[in-house]
Structure 1
């Protein structure tokens, strides 16, 4: 029930699954495998897949191996790749225009990092009127306990918990496991 009129479509949003972002991430291989399966299922259902790729001059330099999307995932030639430099994939990008062109009002979100770009993007989508589903077992992050953060499994669990209770007029938030994502 998105608040975006004339946009009944769904898109799978794959955020920052890049070599240097997920190289040391918690449960990296399992998460990437789930995202790979979601991409395959979305394509089979003719649901658009939109890729988001972070760049930063100090550590994720455009064109470098660390900046590239992981080898297990490959955007199709006709799939949008949105370049971003802020946590929220909508800020300073053409993501909104891409989604409007595709008629998308519902996002299914996967990727990294849970406590940064995923959190910012799901909130950004929701406040912009999108129904926003977080795939609870298809997002991850690197260990930030050295800076006082909880262990990654707890960060993921907390994010899934609070997102499952989000609410706002005219739109929905949800958390589902990858196996339960319905692109219909």
Structure 2
């Protein structure tokens, strides 16, 4: 079992809301607006915001596709983490930054639901953090499965929202919340 984090220190983690990731994603303008609202609510409540940005062969560092979408701008002093794998925890300094901040509860938003958001959510839970997934502030693209079937983005998003609502880990709280309803002063448990 993971070491469960004691306390109730929240942090907002925004993952990969980058030009090349958001381009063509399901309901991208609405979702990006909700990510911006979640960040605004975190800042209003004095909650630190951590920005995680992906680098790989398709998202080459400093390219246009690698940049944050124009609607989102990290503030002076916000932590920025660069990653090369789906989980924001793998081979990054995220865990160390969370420890420095005394974080115990991660509120998560961003892209892409079926890759980096899912991997980061499970990574957080496996490391003993409580987790709130902002259920209207993550998105992905539909996937052609190559056999005449398509995995629809909306279904992938619904699946992760349901999983994070009902998933149980010993000693940890998981749940979802809408961006407009985020209250970082109390843990979420949607059941």
Give 1:125's aligned residue. Answer: 124
Given that 2:34 and 2:137 are in contact with CA atoms closer than 8 Å, whether structure 1 keeps it comes out as yes
Give 2:37's aligned residue. Answer: 37
* Structure 2 runs not aligned, ≥5 long: 186-191
CA drift of 1:158 comes to 1.0
After TM superposition, the structure 1 = structure 2 runs for residues 151-170 of structure 1, keeping only pairs within 5 Å, are 151-170=152-171
After TM superposition, the structure 1 = structure 2 runs for residues 105-144 of structure 1, keeping only pairs within 5 Å, are 105-144=104-143
TM-score of the aligned structures, taking structure 2 as reference length: 0.91
- The one-character-per-residue Cα deviations of 1:15-74 (angstroms, maximum 9, x if unpaired) are 000000001110000001011111111111110000000000x21000111001111000
Question: CA-atom RMSD, angstroms?
Answer: 1.3
Give 1:174's aligned residue. Answer: 175
Number of corresponding residues: 181
Alpha-carbon separation, structure 2, partners of 1:34 and 1:8: 24
Give 1:25's aligned residue. Answer: 25
Given that 2:145 and 2:151 are in contact with CA atoms closer than 8 Å, whether structure 1 keeps it comes out as no
* Structure 1 runs not aligned, ≥5 long: none
CA drift of 1:146 comes to 4.5
| Runs of 4+ with deviation above 2 angstroms | 145-149
CA drift of 1:130 comes to 0.3
* Secondary structure at 1:164 match in 2: helix
Give 2:189's aligned residue. Answer: none
Given that 2:19 and 2:69 are in contact with CA atoms closer than 8 Å, whether structure 1 keeps it comes out as yes
Alpha-carbon separation, structure 1, partners of 2:145 and 2:72: 30
CA drift of 1:145 comes to 2.7
CA drift of 1:157 comes to 0.6
Given that 2:41 and 2:182 are in contact with CA atoms closer than 8 Å, whether structure 1 keeps it comes out as no
